[in-house]
Amino acid sequence: MVDIVTSPARTEPARWRAVVGPELAVVAVGLLAAIIFPDDLGFITRINILAIFTLSLALVVGQAGIGTLGQAALFGAGSYAAALWALHVTPEPLSGLLIGALAGAVVATGSGLLILRTRGLTLIMLSIAFAQVLLEIANKAAFVTGGDDGMADIPVNPIFGVVAFDFHSRVGFGYTLAALVAVYFCLRRLVASPFGLTCRGIKGDRLRMRAVGAPVFRHLLCVYALGGAVAGIAGALSAQTTQVVGLSNLDFELSAEGLVMLAIGGVGHLGGALLGVPAFMIVRHVTATINPNHWLLVIGLLLVVTVLYLPGGLYGVFDKWRRRTERSGS
Amino acid sequence: MTTFKRLAALAGALLLGGAVAHAEPVRVGIIAPFSGPFSNFGEGWKAAIEAYQKLHGKTAGGQEIELIFRDLTGPNPSEAKALAQELIIKDRVQYLGGVVFTPNAFAIAPVVEEAKIPTVIFNAATSSVLDKSKYFVRTSYTLPQITVPIARFMLDEGVKSVVTMVSDYAPGADAEASFVKTFEAGGGKVIEKVRVPLKTTDFGPFLQRVKGSAPQALFIFFPGGPPSYGVIKAYKDNDLRSTGIRLFGTSEADEKDLPAIGDAALGLESGMFYAGAHDSAANKAFVAALKDVAPTAVANATALEGFDGMAAIYHMIEATKGQRDPDAAMAAIRGFAWESPRGPVRIDPESRHIVQNVYIRRVEKDADGKLFHQEFKTYEQQPDYGRTDARHDAK
Amino acid sequence: MTLVGSILIDGTAYAMILFMITVGLSITLGLMHVVNMAHGAFAMLGGFAAVELMSRLGLRFELALVIAVVATALVSVPIERFVISRVYGRPELDQALLTIGVAFVAIALVNLWLGASFSSIDLPAWLSGPVDLGFRSFPRHRVAVIVLGCLVSAALWLFIGRSRFGVKLRAAVDNPGIAQSVGINTSLLYSLAFAIGAGLAALGGIAGAELLPMEANYPVKYLVLFLAVVAVGGQGTLFGTFLAALLLGLVDTASKYLLPDLASISFYLTMLLVLALRPQGLLGRKDVA
């Protein structure tokens, strides 16, 4: 448990705001979006799911400095695990989420043992290779995974036996939003804890961390496995809300998209995931409606501009604004 | 800004929807790749749809038709489902069309079934797709539908031994299975069945293998684009024809890719439901209209999938007078027969799949030195031979 | 024995193409420590330039090849000076993201111009058709590619090993700080090295167009392939890239001949194996990984 050391002058409401403020903001924005765009709940549900996936990247890449381009392997592992669980054991959704998290963590541990002793280009390539091999196995094991046709008609029971998933994605929206808030809360606590501090230390200077006796490899493996669990949850949510799983859940394109969304939002903060994903998805949706071919140009330029001029991403901009208003406010 | 527009639109729609329901256009949603590596499907379909509307007008059943295009760049079942939902809930389409990939078709089936939206599949060629929803109709083809006549043709030509070489994915497996079944049933021998990974760029080794096995013919199935280019080029470069191995295929030397493949394709024999050079009045009208609305578009099988898809949609709209009546629409389309630029076609009432001629043709050069497919044999009104073949379950 | 010969010739030809395209990437990585995800775009640029020169201006293949290679090298200079150099010294993630953005822009521009169709390069008569090597006939083009690859490798080895430029290059790779302090103009060096890499990529792209046809998606489609060669070979080492290209090319070809069902997995497994056992690549330096 993290003890927030407060000075006697700080009042109770402020402490409360620090503990759950951001989560409430997420809930508020989510509900507002649902009210204003009631026909787009399917789209918002997908944003929620991808936000959870990108949070896993924010943890692994942003906090611990593990530059991976194979995170889709963990998302896909969660998807397929949840789908198989629903088809062969029980379509109860919450247990499916746990299974997805478990699958993601297990696959991440396996992957981590292979890649975490390396850095830079080697780590990138190993993460890609691992994900591609997993994809090939899923492709070949068509009797289990449906191969490149994927799995469809995945059953999903009502949540708590009462709240059934509906065609308009209202329940799906609420379900994924709740999951997003829960994951965000847990990750925020983790990042603020000594564990999170160690992660950032390793990201900053691995050699120095070793010199002070931190068990670097074990720590990285832990973070990576946690990130895998989060990605697995996102994958399971995808399987449950769309009732469909395909090889695209394991593909490189998803890994790359996640990284791009995080970059736009801001790599260094968890909040970057929450800003980058909606920005990316909405701009893509709007651009694609106007002219699908311009999307790639837009995202390419956006990336170049973000890296060169907005290194903190959208979160950096938001943070500067917040600090400026706080300073002028108090 | 956009929020106000949306609220206003919503309010407006609610008002209008209540009072003036009958003046609303019939909305048709087309889900296809318009960007990325498969955009030739989306672009080709769009051009063909425009050609159809040039020939048949923009109204049917007394109502105006509004087309909404949504980009789906590749096989991505969750996104396919999301797009279908958006088109149905938000854009309130009456019909859906398009869909290239089988996993995407599988994904939208439950949505389409629950919302009762007649959906014309323009491509997704796996037989079992149509079983997933009784609102699915298909105007493309299936692999068994064209490989069975090809196998029969080869047997008639006296080909006794063959090596099959297909791309390692579901349609390839389909093509291989139905070809082998028919060829062996006719007394032929399949020496080897080669599956080539989708990402392969270097086909030389595979064709060397075939040369070593010395069959009388090589049967191939590859998706259009670089894989087909690679395989045909490798066939030529490794000099298989001179050792007496004939090359048979399906849609590999598509009219769009022929210029890039070049003379290497000469002599390639294949079976397909349409060739741009098909000699009929309906086709001449189609080609002219296509050239008019989209000068850079190519008259190929892809275009026909979209053209006939629109024919099916128009027929359903006519039958329901533009009103939302999915079951009446489906009743009308079942058994509907018409003259398409590809020849006489019919929607099978039971399978809801298109029944059509399959033409055996050879790549030749015309008087201007341009490569084209010369049709020389017709297998009439071929059904979907894969209908009862449970190749694999999607579950 | 025909099988072994086939694997050797086909595999080496594929390897030579990979080498020519990726050697520039390895030099860039070793020299400027930049992971250039847009490197494939230069191969694509060269390929399309050659196609256009031949089809629109009616130039013959040989001339189009030379002009396309030089043009690509020239075009790469402002890209390096004004965009890529801005991320020298920044974390690898930033570099990767920036260069992916550049690749996307390149793809989008080609897409707008050409759509999704692919283009092929018409080889002249002396490069088409088969040539009989006794035990088997091979496509003449393959043999030419092997010869070209060897010539390029030899030229590079001589140039980098013997010339003054090469000495400075190796110095800057080994220790940029000291190199600068002895008066080596590292910025100029970087630009030159980048241009040479881009030109070589263009050469590889044109030579390899039979195997890797020119299409808008080219840079991203083969990105993993190119990066794999560099990672397996080791950064900044010419010979390492050569070896890695040979290894991966031969393994890929051999599995196509012997185990076609496992061909795609075998490539990734080889990469996994090498990198797991030697993270710095075959000939890379240990401190880098």
Complex prediction ipTM: 0.85
What is the spatial distance between Cα A137 and Cα A134, in angstroms, rounded to a whole number? 5
Top-ranked range on mean pLDDT: pick from A245-249, B169-173, B235-239: A245-249
Question: Hey, are the CB atoms on A142 and B85 less than 8 Å from each other?
Answer: no
How far away is chain C from the Cα of B27, in angstroms, using its nearest Cα? 27
Q: Token pair of B183, please?
A: 């060829």
Q: Token pair of B254, please?
A: 């598509």
Give the confidence band of B12 by pLDDT, cuts at 50, 70, 90.
low
The pLDDT of residue B248: 95
Question: Hey, are the CB atoms on A304 and C93 less than 8 Å from each other?
Answer: no
Q: Over 50: is that where the pLDDT of B393 sits?
A: no
The answer to whether the CB of C51 falls within 8 A of the CB of C214 is yes
Residues in chain A within 8 Å Cβ distance of B103: 148-150, 152, 244, 246-248
Structural domains present in chain C = 2-277 (1.10.3470)
Question: What are the distances in angstroms from CA A44 to CA A92, B49, B81, B82, C231?
Answer: 23, 31, 13, 10, 39
The shares of helix, strand and coil residues in chain B, as percent rounded to the nearest 5, are 45, 25, 35
Q: How many contiguous H segments (helices) and E segments (strands) does chain C have?
A: 12, 2
Residue-wise pLDDT tens digits, B140-150: 999 999 999 99
The amino acid at A261: M
Q: Over 90: is that where the pLDDT of B170 sits?
A: no
Which residues partner with B248 through β-bridges?
B219, B269
Question: Hey, are the CB atoms on A303 and C104 less than 8 Å from each other?
Answer: yes
How many residues comprise chain B?
Answer: 395
Give the confidence band of C27 by pLDDT, cuts at 50, 70, 90.
confident
Question: Hey, are the CB atoms on B3 and A36 less than 8 Å from each other?
Answer: yes
Whether the CB of A190 is below 8 Å from some CB of chain C: the reply is: no
Q: Over 50: is that where the pLDDT of B322 sits?
A: yes
Question: What are the distances in angstroms from CA B128 to CA A151, A224, B143, B390, C151?
Answer: 13, 40, 12, 8, 54
Q: What is the DSSP letter of A247?
A: G
In the B/C pair of chains, how many CB contacts fall below 8 A? 93
The pLDDT of residue B98: 95
Which residues partner with B64 through β-bridges?
B59
Residue-wise pLDDT tens digits, C64-122: 999 999 999 999 999 999 998 888 888 888 888 999 999 999 988 888 887 667 888 88
Question: Residue A43 is nearest to which of B86, B111, B392, comparing CB atoms?
Answer: B86
Mean pLDDT of A138-159: 86
What is the spatial distance between Cα B115 and Cα A167, in angstroms, rounded to a whole number? 9
What is the spatial distance between Cα B177 and Cα A285, in angstroms, rounded to a whole number? 40
What is the spatial distance between Cα C55 and Cα C44, in angstroms, rounded to a whole number? 16
Strands B136-138 and B119-121, how do they pair?
parallel
Give the confidence band of A329 by pLDDT, cuts at 50, 70, 90.
low
Residue-wise pLDDT tens digits, A278-312: 999 999 988 888 888 788 899 999 999 999 998 88
The least confident of A251-265, B299-313, C135-149 is C135-149
CA of residue B195 relative to chain centroid, distance: 22
Token pair 């050609």 is found at B51
The pLDDT of residue B265: 92
Question: Residue C137 is nearest to which of B212, B239, B262, comparing CB atoms?
Answer: B239
* Residues in contact with A116: Cβ distance below 8 Å, sequence separation at least 6, in sequence order: A66, A123, A217, A220, A221, A224
What is the spatial distance between Cα B88 and Cα A288, in angstroms, rounded to a whole number? 18
The least confident of A78-87, B4-13, B119-128, B183-192 is B4-13
Token pair 């527009």 is found at B5
Q: Over 70: is that where the pLDDT of B48 sits?
A: yes
What is the spatial distance between Cα A26 and Cα A312, in angstroms, rounded to a whole number? 20
Each domain of chain A, given as residue ranges in start order, spans 12-251
The least confident of A18-22, A104-108, B89-93 is A18-22
The amino acid at C254: A
Maximal CA-CA distance, chain C: 57
Q: Token pair of B24, please?
A: 């609303």
Residue-wise pLDDT tens digits, C136-177: 777 788 888 889 989 998 988 888 778 888 888 778 777 778
Residue-wise pLDDT tens digits, A110-128: 999 989 988 888 898 899 9
The answer to whether the CB of B361 falls within 8 A of the CB of B275 is yes
Taking Cα atoms as reference points, which of C261, A33, A316, A78 lies closest to residue B169? C261
In the A/B pair of chains, how many CB contacts fall below 8 A? 113
Question: Residue A301 is nearest to which of C86, C93, C105, comparing CB atoms?
Answer: C105
The pLDDT of residue C183: 82
Residues in chain A within 8 Å Cβ distance of B31: none
The pLDDT of residue A16: 76
Of the two residues B98 and B199, the one the predictor is more confident about is B98
* Residues in contact with B145: Cβ distance below 8 Å, sequence separation at least 6, in sequence order: B273, B353, B356, B358, B382, B383, B384, B385, B386
Strands B136-138 and B161-167, how do they pair?
unpaired
Structural domains present in chain B = 20-141+279-352 (3.40.50.2300), 143-272+358-382 (3.40.50.2300)
The pLDDT of residue B390: 44
The amino acid at B244: G
The pLDDT of residue B44: 94
Which residues partner with B371 through β-bridges?
B365
Whether the CB of B6 is below 8 Å from some CB of chain A: the reply is: yes
Taking Cα atoms as reference points, which of B82, B126, B133 lies closest to residue B100? B126
Q: Which chains touch A (3 or more CB pairs under 8 A)?
A: B, C
The string of DSSP letters for A128-157 reads HHHHHHHHHHHHH-HHHH-GGG-B-----P
Q: Over 70: is that where the pLDDT of A1 sits?
A: no
Question: Residue C211 is nearest to which of B39, B40, B201, comparing CB atoms?
Answer: B201
- Average predicted confidence (pLDDT) for chain C: 86
Whether the CB of B86 is below 8 Å from some CB of chain A: the reply is: yes
Question: What are the distances in angstroms from CA C76 to CA A2, B166, C21, C84, C93?
Answer: 52, 40, 15, 10, 22
Which of A84, A149, A156, A290 is the mutation pick for testing B, counting most B CBs within 10 A?
A149
Long-range residue pairs from A305-310, CB within 8 A, at least 24 positions apart, any chain: A306/A263, A306/A264, A306/C97, A307/A263, A307/C87, A307/C94, A307/C97, A307/C98, A307/C101, A308/C86, A308/C87, A308/C98
Residue-wise pLDDT tens digits, B327-344: 999 999 999 999 999 999
Residues in chain B within 8 Å Cβ distance of A249: 78
Give the confidence band of B391 by pLDDT, cuts at 50, 70, 90.
very low
Question: Residue B260 is nearest to which of C10, C119, C216, comparing CB atoms?
Answer: C119
Question: Hey, are the CB atoms on B262 and C211 less than 8 Å from each other?
Answer: no
Question: Hey, are the CB atoms on C227 and A267 less than 8 Å from each other?
Answer: no
Whether the CB of B47 is below 8 Å from some CB of chain A: the reply is: no
Of the two residues C76 and B21, the one the predictor is more confident about is C76
CA atoms within 13 A on the CB side of B337: 9
The pLDDT of residue B55: 94
Question: Hey, are the CB atoms on A256 and C100 less than 8 Å from each other?
Answer: yes
Q: Token pair of A60, please?
A: 């692994």
Whether the CB of C124 is below 8 Å from some CB of chain B: the reply is: no
Which of C33, C104, C262 is the mutation pick for testing A, counting most A CBs within 10 A?
C104
